[in-house]
Structures are given as C-alpha cells and as structure tokens.
Amino acid sequence: MSVLISILAFLVAISVLVAVHEFGHFIVARMLGVKVLRYSIGFGRVLLSWRPRGETEYAISALPLGGYVKLLDEREGEVPPEERHRAFNRQAIWRRAAILAAGPAFNFLFALLAYWIVYVTGIPGVKPVVGPVAPNTPAAVAGIHEKDTILAVNGSPTPTWQATNLALLSAVVDKQSLRLQVQGPGKAAKRTVSLHYGDIKSLTRPGKLLSGLGLSNWAPPIAAVIGKVDSDTAAAHAGLQRNDRILDIDGHAISDWKQVQKYVKQRPGQRLMLTVARGQKRLKIPVVLESKVVDGKPVGLLGVTPTIPPNYGKDMVAYMHYGPLEAVGQAATRTGQMIALTAVVSYRMVVGQVSLSNLSSPIAIAQYAGSWAQAGLVYFLYFLAIISVSLGFLNILPIPLLDGGQLLFLGVEAVQRRPVSEQTEAIAQRVGLSLLVLLLGFAVFNDLSRLIHP
C-alpha cells in the first residue's frame, strides 16, 4: 500500500508541476500571438484529446513523466503562408526567449503560490530544541548545550527544525560563518554563539548536516514501558509482553526508552538479561538480540516499540502561520531562498565541493511524495513547492533539450545575427541527451544504494 501511495503521489506531483510548466509556455505563446497546436500532459501516444475552441488540441498522453507544448513552427512542417506570421521560428528573439523562459518562471510562481497557501493555512513543525551535543564537535566547542532552543541562524528566525535545517544548509553551502542565537530552558538569557566548521563536502551528505555539526533533535523522555511486541522477533521469542516496564538491562538501571534503544543498538546478536516489572511481579527475562546492518555497521534489534502517552510532544509543536499579507512576504522569501540554495548547491556539486550523493532520481522523489502525501494535504503542497523550484531551476540550465539550452541558442543567434545551424543544434541535442541520461543514471544509482544500504 505504501508503494502504491508513493507511485500515485509521484504521478500527481509530476502531472501538476508539468502542467504548470507547460502552461507557462502556452499562455505566453498565446499572448504573443504564436499559434499553439497541442498542449499535452505526458509523452507518447495520445490517450485523450479535445479541442474546445478548434485551434489548440489539449491532450493526455501515455507516459505521465513530462509534457510538452507544440507550437506552429516551419522547422517541423509546412506552414500555410497566411499563418507564417504566427510561427514560433518567425518571432523576434525576445519573443521566443519570453516563451521559453515562461515555463521555469511559472514553476517559480507556483512555488510562491504554494508557500503562500501553506503559510496562510498554517503548517506545524517541531521546535528546534537541541538534544545531546556530541563532544568535540562545532556545537560543543561553541558552547551549545542540551535543551537549548535555536532561535535564529545568521539573523533568520528558525521557529522549527525544518527552518533551522534550511538556514544551516544555506549558510554552509555558501561558506558563510554560522552565528546561532540560542536560549536555554525556562527564562534563560538569549545568547549568540559561533560555529566553526571544516569541509562542507562531508556536511552536505544527505542526513549528515546536524550530526556533522554535533547537533541533534531533543525529544521529551518516554518511559521504558513496552507498547507493542512485534511478532517473530527477539522480544517475542523471549516472552516480553505489552505493558512490561524495563527496570534494568544487565544490571544497568534504565530510566527512559532512549536508554533502552542505545543499549540494545550497541549489542547486535548478544544475550541480554532484562529485569521487567509486570503488574506486581518483578521478572528476569533473558533475550538474544537480532542483528541488522545499518550504514555498514551491525546494530542490535529487540523488536518492541514504547507506550506513547496521550498528547506526547504537544509542547514541542510550533506553527508557521501568517496572515494573508504577511504570508506573501514569507512565501517570496522562502521561494528566493530555495532558488538560491538550489543554484549554490548545483555549482558546488559541479566543482566537487558538495557531495554528488545529493542527486536524486524519480525513485527518491516518489518516496518523498508518498511520505508527504500521507502526512496531509498542506504537507504535500509544501513538497510540491520544493520540487517546483527544482524543476524550474533544472529547466533553465544551459543544457540542450532543456529551455535553458534553447535560450543559449537564442543568445548565440543574437550575437552572430543568424540562427544556429541545424547540424550544430542536432549535435548539441545529442550531447545534452547523453548528459541528462548520465545524470539520471548517477541519481538512480544513488537512490538504489540508499535503498540497499539505508
């Protein structure tokens, strides 16, 4: 079911964003008097088509992994003399450039609109309260302590961990210094600390930013009471039951669930002696842990989950919620941040300063789409905004086959005062296709590696 949801969410996301992108080309072409022959969502064989006004064919095609707008163009077929003034190739350079740039521009506008809706509706997040700080890390050296709340990064407010991660990543990839405003528990005084980090390549590996800086997410403690015992696991075989309270393991006193997780994780395949309280009884239960390889290392598995109390973590929730006018500024700022971050990360990857493991294929996008869709509509819209920025940025890259490549050809045409030759354009298209296939192959390899070695 999870796989099906991911596939459906991915198809919805791609269809919506491609429709927006192609609508940009479509509407600007129409505004500039260029005839649009077909507006299609998907490639390949047309499954469904209609002509509401007789001129433009609207179509749904078989392969829902893209789309296109087909314009009247003398390079692609015979054009009647009376319609040549409406052909794309007959337009002034600025008109053709406007039509090509409209696709990515509409993706950016969609992101702005999506962020605005999200902020007006309100999206919950987790307050950026710091968990245990790893010793000898930038956070520890800077004097950040467990239960400190991160209020701002380089002056940008950080109401949630999501906002904190974005601000930290933006600063790191831009090689900026990190100045964090933090506050201890209760009414402790606010203070500003500076984090000094080293190589950004290791920090920009997926999932390594916070741990590389020595930060972690604090969570309220959970009592060491078993809520569920998974079938055919070490716990089930040992006879552990729901509502058992773990008092100690191998003589080491246990006060919360995190201690259970840490002790078990460090002992794959070992035999442990658990002391549990079951009702009025106190029992000694031996358990032989299972072992699973995670990130190349074996970890111990018990096969239980804790009892989560009602309203657990309610005090840790923060809402990003703004009025309609304020949300416009917040949405514009976030869209600009995402465009700038995407540009800087892309540049850093090209020059080898950011890990190429950040490249993701449709496999990872589908996984994220499924997760965000299951979280709720507002979360899925937030995800669409992020992907829309990525799609818009990808299309303005100067790679033949993409809008940016066509804009590059127009720039050459403006300089040399004649179009690029068909032979040169054909060679460039093949090179561009090869580059895109290579990038896609590398991204698929990244995603498959993450699936095999999570």
Q: What is the set of active-site residues?
A: 22
Percent of the chain at pLDDT above 70? 97
Is there a contact between 66 and 43 (Cβ–Cβ < 8 Å)? yes
The arithmetic mean of pLDDT across residues 36-65, rounded, is 85
Which tens digit of pLDDT belongs to each residue from 296-338?
789 999 999 999 988 888 889 998 899 999 999 999 999 999 9
pLDDT at 363 over 80: no
**Structurally, what CATH architecture does the domain formed by 123-220+313-320 represent?**
Roll (2.30)
The arithmetic mean of pLDDT across residues 102-114, rounded, is 96
Region of residue 142 (phi > 0: left; psi between -120 and 50: alpha; otherwise: beta): alpha
Half-sphere exposure of 36 (CA within 13 A, CB side): 24
pLDDT at 345 over 50: yes
Q: pLDDT higher for 432 or 120?
A: 120
* Residue closest to 90 by CA, chosen among 104, 101, 80: 80
- CATH says 226-312 is which class? mainly beta
Domain residue extents for the chain: 2-32+91-122+366-452, 123-220+313-320, 226-312
pLDDT at 207 over 90: no
Is there a contact between 246 and 275 (Cβ–Cβ < 8 Å)? yes
Which tens digit of pLDDT belongs to each residue from 222-255?
999 999 999 999 999 999 999 999 999 999 999 9
Which tens digit of pLDDT belongs to each residue from 2-25?
778 888 898 889 889 999 999 999
Asked if the domains at 123-220+313-320 and 226-312 fall in one CATH topology, the answer is yes
Beta-bridge partners for 126: 317
Residue 53 three-state SS: coil
pLDDT at 184 over 60: yes
Is there a contact between 278 and 243 (Cβ–Cβ < 8 Å)? yes
The arithmetic mean of pLDDT across residues 444-453, rounded, is 61
The arithmetic mean of pLDDT across residues 187-192, rounded, is 90
Residue 217 three-state SS: strand
